[in-house]
Amino acid sequence: MISLRRGAIAAVSLMAVLAVPVAANAHRQWLLPSATVLSGNDPWITVDAAVSNDLFYFDHMPMRLDGITVMGPDGSKGEIKNGATGKYRSTFDVQLDKPGTYKIANVSDGLMASYKLNGEAKRWRGPLADLATAIPKDATEVKLTQSQRRLEIFATRGSPTKEVLKVTGQGLELEPVTHPNDLVSGEAATFKLLLDGKPAAGVEVEVVPGGNRYRNGTGEMKLTTDAQGAFTITWPNPGMYWLEASVRGGKATVPNAERNASYVTTLEVLPD
C-alpha cells in the first residue's frame, strides 16, 4: 500500500508533511484517531491531522490530506471519506468495513538542497524525481539531504490482526512485538525500530502523553533501542501517546546525499 505509485505519492506527501520548512523542527506532526479499538457491525473512526506546538491541540497548521493512505486488514487499499481541511487542522473518516487491524499513514520521501549560483546562496526542496532539473549544472557547494518521514496509526475492529504490521524495508519503521492496539495502562509493551529492514540500534525514542497544554511539563519519556532495535514502555496512565524517533545517516537512495529518516505514531492506551 505505502509503495503504491511511489513517485507520485512521495511528491505529494512531501509537500503535505513539510509544507513549511521550519515546521518539522519547531512543531510536532500527528494523526489522532477518535478511537483505535472498536466493535460492532459498522464502526467508523474520525482522524484529526495537524502540526502543532501542544500535542493534539490545534494551534499551528493543518496537515494536508493528499498523501494519506489506508491499508485494510487483508492488505487491500482503503480510502478516507469526508475529508476537510481548515485553518488549523484537517479531518477525515475511515470506515472499518472488515474485521481486523487497519493502518492509516502519511509517508514522504523527498530532497532538500543548498547550493551557490554565481556566489549567491540558493535552496531547493522537492521530490526526488525533480532533482535532475532543479539544480543548475554550474551550481557549486551543492549539499543534498534526503528526508524520509513516516507517520502512521492503527485501528482494529474486533480481534487484532498482523497483516498491516509488516514493514516495507524502506526508511525508519516500527515493527510491533506488542500489538499497537493491545496497550493497557500499567503494562509493558515492546516494539522494534528498523532502518531499511534492519535493527536500528541506539536510537532515542520520545514518547509524550497528550494533553500537555493542561499540565506543567510535557511528561515525556525517553528510551533508547537496544542492539536488536527493541525498546519497552510501561504505560503510566491511559490515554493517547505520541511516539517519535529519527535517524541521521544510513544509505540514501540519492548519490552524495545525507539521509534523515523519522517515524511518528499515535498510540492509545486503555485502562486496566
> Residue 196's domain is classified under what CATH number?
2.60.40.3880
Q: What is the chain's length?
A: 272
**151: in domain:** yes
DSSP annotation of 18:
S
- 153 assigned to some structural domain: yes
128 part of a folded domain: no
Pairing of strands 140-157, 257-269: parallel
Per-residue pLDDT, averaged over 92-107, amounts to 97
Three-state DSSP at 204 gives strand
Beta-ladder partners of 230:
192
Q: 0.75 exceeded by the pTM?
A: yes
Q: Which residues pair with 263 in a beta bridge?
A: 150, 245
Q: Write down the residue that cell numbers 502512521 correspond to.
A: 152
210 and 30 Cβ atoms separated by less than 8 Å: no
Q: What is the pLDDT of residues 103-151, one digit of tens each?
A: 999 998 888 888 998 889 989 888 877 887 888 888 888 898 888 999 9
Q: Is residue 200 part of a domain?
A: yes
Within-domain flag for 205: yes
Domain of 171 in residue numbering reads as 6-110+145-269
What cell does 35 get? 478511537
Does residue 70 lie within any of the structural domains? yes
Whether the predicted pLDDT of 26 surpasses 70 = no
CA geometry: angle at 216 spanning 222 and 87, to 5°? 90
- 131 located within any domain: no
Closest CA to 92 of 83, 103, 104, 79: 83
Residue 121: inside a domain: no
Number of domains in the chain: 1
Mean pLDDT score, 3-9: 35
pLDDT tens by residue, 155-200: 999 999 999 999 999 999 999 999 999 999 999 999 999 999 999 9
- C-beta separation of 190 from 205 below 8 A: no
